[in-house]
C-alpha cells in the first residue's frame, strides 16, 4: 500500500518542480513524466497479483482506488488537460486519502498485532 503513497507524492513533487521551472525544458519534463508513468503503471501488476489479508481488504481496495486516481491525474497531465499547478491540487486530495488509509493500517497493526509505532515509522 505504501507504494501508492510514494507514487502519488512523486507525482506531486514532479508537478511542483515543473511548475516552478526546475523541469521546464520539454525533454527534461518528458523524461520525468515517462519515468513516473512507468513506476505508476508497474503497480497495476501488484494490485492484480497480490491479495491482501482479509483484515486489510478494505484498506487494500482504497489503496487501489487511490492508485487509479493517481493514474487519472497523471494521464490528464500527459494529455495536457491540466497543468502542473492543477496536478498539485488534484493529487493533494489523493495523498490525504492515502495517508488516512496508512494510519488506519498502522493502528490495526498496533492494536491487533502488537506492533510498536517506532517499528512502523
Provide the pLDDT for residue 17: 85
End-to-end CA distance of the chain: 15
DSSP 8-state class, residue 56: G
d(CA 2, CA 59): 11
CA distances from 59 to 77, 98, 114 (A): 27, 9, 19
On the question of pLDDT at 104 being above 60, the answer is yes
Q: Taking the model in full, what pTM does it have? A: 0.85
Domain ranges of the chain: 2-120
d(CA 63, CA 100): 10
Candidate from 25-29, 75-79, 80-84, 115-119 with smallest mean pLDDT: 25-29
Half-sphere exposure of 10 toward its Cβ, with a 13 Å CA cutoff? 18
Provide the pLDDT for residue 92: 97
Amino acid at each position: 500500500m505504501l507504494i501508492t503513497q510514494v507514487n502519488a507524492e512523486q507525482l506531486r513533487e514532479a508537478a511542483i518542480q515543473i511548475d516552478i521551472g526546475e523541469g521546464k525544458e520539454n525533454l527534461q519534463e518528458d523524461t520525468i513524466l515517462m519515468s513516473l508513468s512507468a513506476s505508476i503503471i508497474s503497480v497495476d501488476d501488484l494490485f492484480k497479483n497480490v491479495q491482501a489479508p482479509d483484515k486489510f481488504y478494505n484498506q487494500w481496495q482504497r489503496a487501489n482506488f487511490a492508485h487509479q486516481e493517481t493514474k487519472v491525474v497523471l494521464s490528464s497531465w500527459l494529455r495536457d488537460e491540466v497543468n502542473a499547478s492543477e496536478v498539485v491540487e488534484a493529487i493533494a486530495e489523493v495523498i490525504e486519502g492515502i495517508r488516512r488509509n496508512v494510519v488506519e493500517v498502522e493502528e490495526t497493526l498496533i492494536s491487533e498485532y502488537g506492533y510498536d509505532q517506532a517499528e512502523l515509522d
